[in-house]
């Protein structure tokens, strides 16, 4: 009887979600967790002790709603990475790229604890959905032979702008940050000055992370975007062509937060 129960449980989809440690990324991914759980999937939401405290209301709401969401706060030794004690979120950093790189690289140390946790879990993972700048999660997915999907918490338009600017290095020789710069290959004419561009992770000081990102981005199964097809079909299609990956528009995530 026990074996039969385990077999039936193992058929339940089990999504492992790993956001970037920043509120603008954590919040839409908690909404994604609620969306998946409302359809009967089991969700493991990976976080840290301090970030778990920040979303305590969300965790409590999931418990009260009896949604199958398990919040997993993995230990995060910020002092080990040379960061101030308790620095577990990007909004706690004050010294630019150096601290940013240290925090992102420290996230890599979560790989083995997460693998150990999932090995002991009665329901094997079905897939991993993680932020682009959590590339170590690709190794976790391969450990269990499941796909990894990248998560973009902002629109397809913004994702397309960012990736085109990185691919063509359009801001490399720009000295005037207010000068409008055209985006080559965009589905219609658009110009964005450097000071209005999205954060570019491909900058000096982040080489270890960005090299791993490049490697893992080529291996993902697709991209989950916080948008909806009816308003961004042109940009979703263009983003698919640019990345060569399937793009799923499953937003806006905030609509699933009924509380």
Catalytic: 131? yes
> Which conformational region is residue 197 in: left (phi greater than 0), alpha (psi within -120 to 50 degrees), or beta?
beta
Question: Is the four-CA dihedral 21, 27, 28, 29 of positive or negative sign?
Answer: positive
Choose the catalytic residue: 14, 34, 131, 163. Answer: 131
Q: Which residues contact 245 (CB under 8 A, 6 or more apart)?
A: 220, 221, 222, 223
Choose the catalytic residue: 25, 31, 34, 163. Answer: 25
Catalytic: 25? yes
- Taking CA 119 as the corner, what is the angle to CA 113 and CA 124, rounded to the nearest 5 degrees? 125
Burial class (CB in 10 A: 0-12, 13-18, 19+), 34: buried
- Tokens, residue 157: 């338009």
Burial class (CB in 10 A: 0-12, 13-18, 19+), 133: buried
What does the alpha-carbon distance between residue 83 and residue 81 come to, in Å, rounded to a whole number?
6
Return the active site residues. 25, 131
């Amino acid at each position: 009887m026990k074996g039969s129960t385990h077999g039936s449980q193992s058929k339940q989809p089990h999504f492992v979600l790993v956001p970037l440690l920043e509120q603008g990324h954590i919040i839409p991914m908690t909404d994604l967790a609620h969306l998946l759980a409302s359809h009967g999937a089991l969700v493991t939401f990976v976080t840290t002790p301090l970030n778990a405290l920040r979303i305590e209301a969300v965790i409590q709401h999931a418990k009260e709603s009896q949604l199958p969401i398990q919040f997993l706060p993995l230990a995060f030794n910020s002092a080990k990475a040379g960061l101030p004690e308790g620095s577990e979120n990007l909004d706690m950093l004050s010294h630019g790229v150096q601290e940013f790189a240290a925090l992102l690289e420290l996230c890599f140390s979560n790989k083995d604890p997460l693998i150990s946790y999932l090995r002991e879990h009665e329901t094997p993972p079905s897939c991993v959905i993680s932020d682009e700048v959590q590339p170590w999660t690709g190794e976790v997915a391969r450990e269990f032979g499941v796909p990894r999907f990248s998560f973009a918490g902002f629109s397809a338009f913004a994702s397309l702008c960012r990736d085109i600017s990185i691919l063509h290095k359009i801001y490399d020789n720009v000295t005037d940050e207010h000068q409008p710069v055209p985006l080559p290959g965009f589905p219609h004419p658009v110009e964005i000055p450097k000071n209005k561009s999205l954060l570019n992770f491909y900058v000096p000081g982040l080489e270890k992370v960005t090299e791993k990102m490049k490697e893992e981005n080529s291996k993902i199964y697709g991209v989950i975007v916080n948008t909806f097809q009816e308003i961004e079909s042109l940009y979703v299609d263009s983003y698919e062509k640019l990345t060569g990956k399937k793009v799923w528009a499953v937003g806006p995530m905030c609509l699933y937060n009924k509380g």
